[in-house]
Amino acid sequence: MSAEEPLAGLQLRCGGEIPGPIAIPELRELVAKARRRQLKLASTVRAVDGDERISAWVDVIPNSGKDTGCSLHLAGWQSAPLVDVSEQVESERNIAIVRQAAEITARLDANQHIITADGRTTDGQLLVQTYSANVGKAWTDFVEIVGNSHEQPLHWRLLDGAIVRFTGSPRNWRVTLVPLGNSKPGNDGFELYLTAEELSAAPPVVTAAPRGPAVAIGREVAPVLRQPIARIIANAETIRSKLAGPLAEEYSNYAADIAAAGEHLLALVDDLSDLEVVEAETFSTAPDKIDLGDVARRAAGILGVRAKEKEITLVAPQESELLAATGEFRRVLQVLLNLVGNAINYSPKGSQIWLRLEEVGDTATITVADQGQGLSQDQQARVFKKFERLGRGGDGGSGLGLYISRKLARAMNGDLVVESEPGKGARFTLSLPGAA
């Protein structure tokens, strides 16, 4: 209905009017979510304004009473020149996934001190309230960092990816720190995202001597590995960016290779952690009513730049295409990102990948179809097996993605199947129970 600068100017430059519908896509989505849930939400919103990238922290507060509108409060408005997105593809993809899945968010200053905090989960409310009551203090003062006893706060790269626990929640929480600032990462503060891990199963009662060593990757190995790997990546990035001083270009390239290898190793640790979770007897999902069309569009949006780099066109469902299903949003998004990511990896330049919705009786399905080389009958029989890569090399994959994806689909009372012929592409179909 009304707005002050600089939001008013951005609204007009994005093609909107005042009064009129919000024309800034991320802001419109955040406001719609707050109105549907009738909850206060806070998040960083981004937009492109000509040759600049705009970002701001936005609090959306639904109005009380019969008024269905919202009040918006903006902080930390920043503008920076657009950069070559090809340098940020993987980072932007991972951050977008985290923003969807995170249940606790906070804005920190350059010293990792709390500015604001928000949350949408019951067992995290105590931490959110504690953060809100302790503005100006380090966020690490109120959590336990698993496997770490060093003085806090550490360098942000060493905390990014750590596992934390806190009073009021039985779950472990994964940390994601997004640095803000163009001249130096973190110079303008950080976005903090906490994403819940699965509930830890109760320790089993041992009645006989085990036949071999039983190692819990997610609970035991991953927390131990994350810090040294993060340190390797942080040091390699420091060398690569020449922050410590001038360096020959070839050594900068070596450091970039080291950082990339470290990122790949962290991804492998994540896959092994997911493998442990889905194979646990106590594993279950949190089904809810979701729109498969919305999840498909989000997956296509996250991977759109990566597809464009390979000159591949992603054909996602239109905004008007809706298909209600029952499933856990972040798990369905995880499956679709794996399917679309694989399709991009194995599709030729100039081809297309389609995400198609279909309702079959009481079942909702989405199919990811590509124009790649396809799979033989033997390959189709093996593609969902653990560590199966069908003889392909060089893509950095662990061979666990499809195995985990099928496990997730079946945990949501659905399934994941493949249809293909050599030379005619592949069609992976995720099916889930429908929703009224």
What is the pLDDT tens value at each position of the chain, 436 positions in all?
888 888 999 988 888 888 888 989 889 888 888 888 788 888 888 888 877 888 888 888 888 766 678 899 888 788 877 654 444 555 666 677 777 778 899 999 888 999 988 887 788 888 998 998 889 999 999 998 887 655 555 678 778 888 899 988 888 898 999 888 765 677 788 999 998 875 444 443 443 434 434 445 555 566 667 667 777 877 777 777 766 567 777 777 777 778 767 776 766 677 676 777 777 777 778 888 899 999 999 888 888 888 888 899 999 999 899 999 999 888 898 899 889 988 998 899 999 999 999 998 999 999 999 999 899 888 888 888 887 766 454 444 567 889 889 999 999 999 999 999 888 899 999 999 998 6
pLDDT of residue 412: 92
Pairing of strands 313-315, 163-165: unpaired
Whether 273 and 265 have beta carbons less than 8 Å apart is answered as: no
Separation CA 407–CA 384 (nearest Å): 9
pLDDT of residue 203: 40
Classified as helix, coil or strand, 409 is helix
pLDDT of residue 355: 95
State the burial class of residue 15 (Cβ atoms within 10 Å of its Cβ: 0-12, 13-18, 19+). exposed
Separation CA 193–CA 334 (nearest Å): 17
Classified as helix, coil or strand, 72 is strand
Which residues have C-beta within 8 Å of that of residue 240, sequence separation ≥ 6? 252, 255, 256, 259
pLDDT of residue 416: 95
Omega of the bond leading into 153 within 30 degrees of 0 (cis): yes
Q: What is the pLDDT of residues 215-270, one digit of tens each?
A: 455 555 666 676 677 778 777 777 777 665 677 777 777 777 787 677 767 666 77
Omega of the bond leading into 246 within 30 degrees of 0 (cis): no
pLDDT of residue 264: 63
Sign of CA dihedral 323, 328, 330, 335: negative
pLDDT of residue 382: 87
pLDDT of residue 363: 94
Alpha helices in 280-398 (DSSP H): 292-302, 304-309, 329-345, 377-382
Interior/surface letters 172-211, b for 16+ CB within 10 angstroms, e for the rest: bbbbbbbbbeeeebbebbbbbbbbbbbebeeeeeeeeeee
Classified as helix, coil or strand, 216 is coil
pLDDT of residue 207: 39
pLDDT of residue 242: 66
What is the residue whose two structure tokens read 């499809």?
A: 402
C-alpha 120 chain-centroid distance: 16
Give the tokens for residue 317: 């469902």
Amino acid code (one letter) for 51: D
